[in-house]
Amino acid sequence: MKSSVVAVAALLSIASVSSFASRVDAKEADAKEPDEIVEIVEDDEAKRPVKKPERAPEERPDQIAFRGFTRLTLAAGMAAREIAPAGAPSEERVGYDRGALTTHTYLDVKYSRGKTFQAVLSGSLAYGGYLAESRPGYLGAERKLESGRVEPVLREAYVGIYGEHVDLRLGQQRIVWGAGGGLAPNDVLNARDVRNRMQLDQEMIDLPTPAVRADFDLGVGILGVVVQPFFVPDRLSLYGGNWSLVQPDSPRSYRRLFGLYAEDRDRNHIDDAQAALVGARSPSGPLDGASIGASFKVHAGKLDTSFYYHWGRDRTPYIYLDPAFSRQLEIADPDKVDGLVFDAFQSQQKKAEAAYGGPLVIRYYRRHHVGFDATTTAGPLVLRADASYDTAMTFFSQGTLNSVARGAAQGVVGMEYQRALDKVISVEAWYMRLVGPEMRLVPVLDPANRGPLLFSDENNVGVASLVRWSFFENLVFETRSFVGVSPTWYMVRPEIGYNAPSFTVRVGLLLVDGERGSFGGVYGRNDTAYVTARHSF
C-alpha cells in the first residue's frame, strides 16, 4: 500500500514539473518570435490518476438470517418443608417442586427474497428435571428426583408476500395487537404457555397459531384482517406443578380427584392425562374453532392509534365439576373408590353425561372482543394506553374451582423512559371491571358458583413496573413487579447479573404473596431463588 502511494506521488510530481517546464519554454519562444503563434495543448486529465467511480452495493436478492438462544436455569423453592395441606392424607396432597433444572433452546430462521417475499421458521426445545416432595403416594415429606421429557415445539412457520399496498402472511404466526408493555388486554390472537410463571423468555411463552393475515394500506390508515381456521387454547397445568390451578387451598374434591389418579404415577403420565383431557374437549373442526379479527391503524403526527375487533373463543378453559359427583368424591373412602362406591360414581357420571356431557366439563366460551390503543411521545417519554371489552371472560369460583363466565372491561395506561436497551423504566396502571351477570354455559339446576371469585374481584386495580439499568458497562440490575391493589397481592422478581453481547448470567428472586383468594395468596408458597445463564447466537 505504501509503495502505491509513493508511486502515485512521484507521478504527480513528474507531471507538475513537466507542466511547469512546458509553460517556461512557451514564454521564452513567445519572447524570441513574437510573430509566431505557438499553441500549447496540455492534457491535464491524462496526467492525473483516474479514480474509478464507486459501484453502488448490489442488493442481495436472497438472504438467510439465523437468530436464537439457549438458556439454563437452576431454581430452588424457599417454602417450609411440610405436607400441604397440613395433615392431608396421601390422595389429597398437593406436591411441591423443591428444585428445578430447566433448559430451553430457541431458533429462528428467516429467508428473504428482496422486499417482496419472506419465509419464517422457528422452534424450541425444552427439558426439565425436578426435586419433588410430598406428592400423592410419597411417604410424608419424602423427596424424589423426577425427570420431565424433552419437549419440541414448532413456533412460527409462515410465508409472507409483500406488495406496495397489500401484505399477506399465511401460516403459523405470532400476531401482536395492542400498544405493548407488560399488560396487554388487546393481545388476544395467540395462545400462551402459562404452566410455569418462572419462564424468563417471551419467545417461550407466546404460542403462534395458524392464521391468514392481510394488511391493506388505504392511505388514511392500514386495515388488517386476520382469519384463524383452528382454535389453539392456552397451555395451562390443572394439577401437579407449583403453578398449577389446583393448589393446597383448592376444594377437596379437585385435590382428591387428581390425587387419586396421581398416586404411583410419574409427572409425565399426569401431564399426558391433562393434555388428553383438555385436548379432547377443545374445538377441533375448522368451523367450530374458527375466528376472525380486524384492526385499523392510523398515524397522525406523534400519535399512533389502533382499533380492534375479534370474534372467537376465550383461550382459558371453562371447567365444571358436577356438584353431586363432587360431594360423592369428598365423602368417599379412598380405599374403596375402586370398589363399593364405584357404581355410584358411574351412575352419577352417566346422568351428568346425558344432561350436559359431565361430570367434568372443559369447554371454551365464544365471545366478542373490541378494543383500541394509542401511543405518543412527550420528550424522552413514551406514553401508551390500551382499552378493551370482552363479552365473556373465564374466571374461577373460590369455593368450587368451577368456572364463571362474565363480561369484562379493561384499561391500561403506561409510561416508559428508555435511554438504551439496558436503561429502561416503565410503569403501567391497570383496571378491570366485571360486567353483567354470570353466563351459564352448563344448564344445571344446582348453581355451583356462589361466592367470591378466585384471583379477581368485581373491580380490579393493579400497577406493573419494569426497571432495567446497567452499571459499569456489563453489570445490570432488573426488577419486574406487579402490585395488586384490589385484590391485594404482589409478585416481584429482582435480578442482578453480568451482561455481554452474546452471554448473560443472572441471579434473582421471585417473591409472591397476597390475601386469600388472590393470585399471590394462592401461589404464596412459590418464593424462589434462582440462577440463570443465556447464550444468544
Amino acid code (one letter) for 398: Q
Mean pLDDT for 416-443 is 89
Helix (H, G, I), strand (E, B) or coil at 4: helix
User: Quick check: is 24 in a domain?
Assistant: yes
User: Quick check: is 204 in a domain?
Assistant: no
- Give the residue from 127, 186, 115 showing the smallest Cα distance to 153: 127
The predicted-structure confidence for 262-308, as pLDDT tens digits, reads as follows: 888 889 988 888 887 777 677 877 778 999 999 999 999 999 999 99
User: Quick check: is 12 in a domain?
Assistant: yes
The span from the CA of 405 to the CA of 323, in Å, is: 18
**pTM for this model (two decimals):** 0.83
User: Quick check: is 385 in a domain?
Assistant: no
Crossing angle of the two packed helices 342-356 and 323-331, in degrees rounded to 10: 170
The predicted-structure confidence for 135-174, as pLDDT tens digits, reads as follows: 998 988 899 999 999 999 999 999 999 999 999 999 999 9
Q: Count up the domains in the chain and report the number.
A: 1
User: Quick check: is 495 in a domain?
Assistant: no
The span from the CA of 373 to the CA of 185, in Å, is: 10
- Give the residue from 296, 464, 489, 308 showing the smallest Cα distance to 386: 308
User: Quick check: is 21 in a domain?
Assistant: yes
Can you give the pLDDT at residue 207? 97
- Give the residue from 100, 175, 170, 171 showing the smallest Cα distance to 133: 100
User: Sorting pLDDT into bands at 50, 70 and 90, what band is 15?
Assistant: very low
The predicted-structure confidence for 300-313, as pLDDT tens digits, reads as follows: 999 999 999 999 99
Mean pLDDT for 441-462 is 79
Domain hosting residue 12, numbered range? 2-47
pLDDT exceeds 90 at position 324:
no
Tell me the H-state helices in 33-134. Answer: 44-47
Task: Of 204-213, 319-328, 403-412, 498-507, give the lowest mean pLDDT range.
Answer: 319-328
The H or E element that residue 170 is part of is strand 166-173
User: Quick check: is 15 in a domain?
Assistant: yes
Mean pLDDT for 450-465 is 94
Q: Are strands 366-378 and 403-420 parallel, antiparallel or unpaired?
A: unpaired
Can you give the pLDDT at residue 260? 85
User: Quick check: is 37 in a domain?
Assistant: yes
Contact 128, 102 (CB under 8 A): yes
